[in-house]
Amino acid sequence: MIHEQLERKIAEFLHAESAITYSSCWSANTGLFPVLAGAGDVVISDALNHASIIDGCRAIAKDAVRDIYRHADMADLARVLDKHADKPGKIIVTDGVFSMEGDLAPLPDIVRLAKSHNALVVVDDSHGVGVVGPSGRGTVEHYGLLERVDIHTGTLGKALGGGAGGYVAGPRVVIDSLIQRSRPHLFSNAVPPSVAAAALEAIRILEKEPERAGTLRAKAELFRKTLKSKGIAPLEGEGAIVPVVVGESVKSKAISQDLLAGGLLATSFSFPVVPEGAARIRFQVSQSHSEADLNWAAQLIADTFHKHGATGGHA
């Protein structure tokens, strides 16, 4: 069965014991945490984690606890872990690559803190797998932590190209529990066989041609440098997400509309997706983009931003 082949391949690819697929990574995240967090346990989440992680944390048992640490702030994570030292189970969850910022989670420090506090680490690497790491295995591989992160979640709909689907990979006991108890898995449709086959082939291609991930990262870095040379300041990052902060929501939307009129599709994100006053345009580089494509896009972006009196930079 194609779904079983895909799940075995995901587990092998991420050096995990087992894996389970879902209709989306949203379903994977909302299906994982209610099963993982039992009575009295605590789930500790980065403040800028994806909305699917937030909803997954909200769905845990009433007698479990949710808490948040400031974005990528390891001193604050240590404080929160100390606060919950008496909890029977502690789970730290973070994005690998943050979808609205483009930065990488400080996973080595997270794993170190988790080990010292006997906590599990869950990483949603939807924007990392296929992009980051020497062979494209994501943020966890980038830091050399494939054997030390407990649970991986991710999507089949971004770099792996299927347009839909998600997964959880980790210890067999966790995956077996999800098969029996995870509601988005039990009470929803499976990934369509065509999507499963496409995702399986995408992973096989990445295994055969790991240099694709390096080529993509090089193109994303070239795009950042080109934007900077034209007076536009994107947020720093090592993945394929290149956000440029505008500030005002109305201005961000207007820039997005003008870019589309010029032939470039780039989405504007504003409150409540990002904080009030930190609206931004998010650009995403593809391995299929040529240098000429990136130069053309950067010039259009610079012209459009300058027309609206925007240059980017931190919010």
Residue 99 catalytic?
yes
Where are the domains positioned within the chain?
A: 2-208, 211-307
84, 87, 127, 289: the active-site residue: 127
Which residue in the list 50, 158, 185, 289 is annotated as catalytic?
158
Nearest Cα residue to 235 out of 191, 288, 274, 182? 274
Q: Are the CB atoms for 84 and 67 separated by under 8 Å? A: yes
180-195: average pLDDT: 92
Give per-residue pLDDT as tens, 1-42. 899 999 999 999 999 999 999 999 999 999 999 999 999 999
Structure tokens of 239? 């993945």
Which of 12, 60, 73 lies closest to 182 in space, CA to CA? Answer: 60
Residue 63 contacts by C-beta under 8 Å, 6 or more apart in sequence? 39, 40
CA distance 91 to 93: 6
Active site residue 71: no
Instruction: Identify the CATH number of the domain defined by range 211-307.
Output: 3.90.1150.10
Mean residue pLDDT of the chain comes to 95
CA distance 121 to 94: 8
The reported pLDDT for the residue numbered 268 is: 96
Sole residue written with tokens 């210890």: 171
Classify burial at 50, counting beta carbons within 10 Å of its beta carbon; exposed 0-12, middle 13-18, buried 19 or more.
Answer: buried
> Residue 314: its pLDDT value, please?
66
* pLDDT 10s digits, 110-166: 999 999 999 999 999 999 999 999 999 999 999 999 989 999 999 999 988 767 899
Q: Is the dihedral of CA 70, 142, 290, 221 positive or negative?
A: positive
Report the percentage of the chain scoring pLDDT > 70. Answer: 99
CATH architecture assignment, domain 2-208: 3-Layer(aba) Sandwich (3.40)
Which pair of structure tokens corresponds to residue 204? Answer: 């096989």
Mean pLDDT of 91-108: 96
Instruction: Exactly one of 99, 182, 252, 270 is catalytic; name it.
Output: 99
Cβ atoms within 10 Å of 186's Cβ, excluding its own:
11
pTM of the predicted structure, to 2 decimals: 0.93
**Is 289 labeled as catalytic in the residue annotation?**
no
The tens digit of pLDDT for each residue in 36-71 reads 999 999 999 999 999 999 999 999 988 999 999 999
pLDDT at residue 248 greater than cutoff 80:
yes
Q: Could you tell me if 124 and 50 are in contact, meaning their C-beta atoms sit under 8 angstroms apart?
A: yes
